[in-house]
Amino acid sequence: MNYIVYDLEATCWKKKPKDFVNEIIEIGAVKINEQRKIIDTFEAFVRPVVHPILSDFCTELTSIEQSQVADAEGFKEVISNFKNWIIDNGQNNYWLCSWGFYDRKQLEKDCLLHQLPDAWVGQHISIKHQYQRVKGQKRPIGCKSAIKQEGLTFEGTHHRGIDDAKNIAKIFLKYFDDWIFKAE
């Protein structure tokens, strides 16, 4: 079994335009095995097609530059590479783990937009909501707040897929025995 702790960044605007459609622009992921070892990482930018020009707000929030997405592969190519990376040596034995449900829903939306199957996204848990349960909190909190609450150091740039995934993995590993793996 592999655990794929991942985070997505998507197109965004300070004020939503009428034709508001978020598209994934970065996938960052950490692969953790049953022995609780980080065995690999995945990072890729994705070229958006509905709104190919990033808003200033999006660049400020994510630090992702226009040139990084303009030179990137499209969603179909990136998601194919990501799925091949997830399915290690033909073993289709994994759980997708993200901080909340946004990332799962965004993967499903982008698959729909690009007319790709999305059943593979269903093996997913929300670390954010399970962390709330584990800690007995009234409401879920953000990843950066959870890192601080745990006395850990947030490393890298917040709202960068790979950095957020690595930080989420810290919490995932700390509470490894507390997660409930069932489709949410």
Q: Which residues are catalytic?
A: 9, 159
CB distance 39 to 31 below 8 Å: yes
Instruction: Please report how many Cα atoms fall inside a 13 Å half-sphere around the Cα of residue 48, on the Cβ side.
Output: 24
**Count of CB atoms situated within 10 Å of the CB of 9:** 26
Name the H helices within 39-93: 56-62, 66-70, 75-86
For residue 150, give every residue at least 6 positions away whose Cβ sits within 8 Å of its Cβ, in sequence order, or none: 170, 171, 174
Q: Which residues in the chain belong to E strands, given as ranges?
A: 2-10, 24-33, 38-45, 94-98, 124-126
Question: Could you tell me the two tokens for 5?
Answer: 């702790």
Rounded Cα gap, residues 19 and 117, in angstroms:
24
